[in-house]
Amino acid sequence: MTSAIKLAIVGVGKIVYDQHVPAIAARADDFSLVATASRHHTIDHIPGFTSIEAMLAAHPDIDAVSLCMPPQYRYAAARQALAAGKHVLLEKPPGATLSEVADLAAFAAEKGVTLFASWHSRHAPGVQPAKAHLAAHVPTAVQVRWKEDVRQWHPHQDWIWQVGGLGVFDPGINALSILTEILPSAMFLTQATLSFPENRDAPIAADLHFQDAADIKVHAEFDWRPTAQQGWDIIVTTVGGELRLTDGGARLWINGAGQALAQEAEYLSLYRRFAALIRAGQSDVDVAPLRHVADAFMLGRRKAVAAFYD
């Protein structure tokens, strides 16, 4: 029996209340939530501090921290936590640039602590069964439709429209995290169009074309404008038929037949993995999804579209 890892959360907001807090409570054998650091928000019955410095000074016994603020503000907190010898979980996307994440990975290795760049969608119940199916049934084409109403899912989140906030890639990177997990070979971007509202610094839609070394074509459409017919679907045509991974990876259909899956428990699985990495003395920093986003900003044609107001 090993003792629970003393955990702190930095950047308390929507995803912390919705997912991190219940998942940590459900994994009480692995984690004990001992403190938070957030400028305006706290969690009931947990000591709260307004800065990570104050929190680490008051609780030197903290073993690990989950960093859940917007990606533009994650690097400085991660550096501080790693410098203090804490294990670190990064919410997705792991940072604002690839280079800052590489710096964090090197620093974690130097300090001998775990860095976990988490991708919650990879823990959706259909993802590993889809990966196993595609290992045995060669894909010939892939279509991704990640379409949601930004006003419903991201009301008044200014950071998401600012540089580094990624715009529609904030949800779209979840699709990329699944694709890079389930496809048997690595894909790369060949063409992209990014639609920027004329009053915003981040795209509201993206149309992306990838291929892999075997010339398998992957077409992805991310869009934040639909108010009806929202969906988070990946459709893979294979030599033997069709695989449909729907609802962000929660449901799987193979040749039209729904597959029996475990219940959705992405964040429970995420924290199980974080605990296993800490106990094994390992890190997991896969930047492939963020690299595809960076490629899209590098190769994508920029198209101005109607201004967006909340």
Would you please indicate which residues are annotated as catalytic (active-site) residues? 92
The letter for the amino acid at 218 is V
The CA radius of gyration of the chain, in Å to the nearest whole number, is 20
Which residue is listed with tokens 């715009």? 167
Cβ burial of 307 (10 Å; 0-12, 13-18, 19+) is exposed
Judged by CB, which is closer to ligand NAP: 69, or 134?
69
Cβ burial of 101 (10 Å; 0-12, 13-18, 19+) is buried
Reduced to 3 states, what is the DSSP secondary structure of residue 147? Answer: strand
Cβ at position 35, least distance to ligand NAP in Å: 14
Judged by CB, which is closer to ligand NAP: 94, or 139?
94
Alpha-carbon span 40 to 62, nearest angstrom: 21
Judged by CB, which is closer to ligand NAP: 92, or 122?
92
CB atoms within 10 A of CB 260: 7
Cβ at position 299, least distance to ligand NAP in Å: 23
Judged by CB, which is closer to ligand NAP: 177, or 238?
177
Q: 83: which 2 tokens?
A: 């410098």
**CA-CA-CA-CA torsion for 269, 135, 212, 105, nearest 10 degrees?**
30
The residue with its CB nearest to ligand NAP is 13
Cβ at position 37, least distance to ligand NAP in Å: 8
Judged by CB, which is closer to ligand NAP: 16, or 218?
16
Find out whether the peptide bond into 70 is cis, omega within 30 degrees of 0. no
| Interacting residues with ligand NAP (CB under 6 A) | 11-15, 38-41, 68-71, 73, 91-92, 120, 157, 159, 170
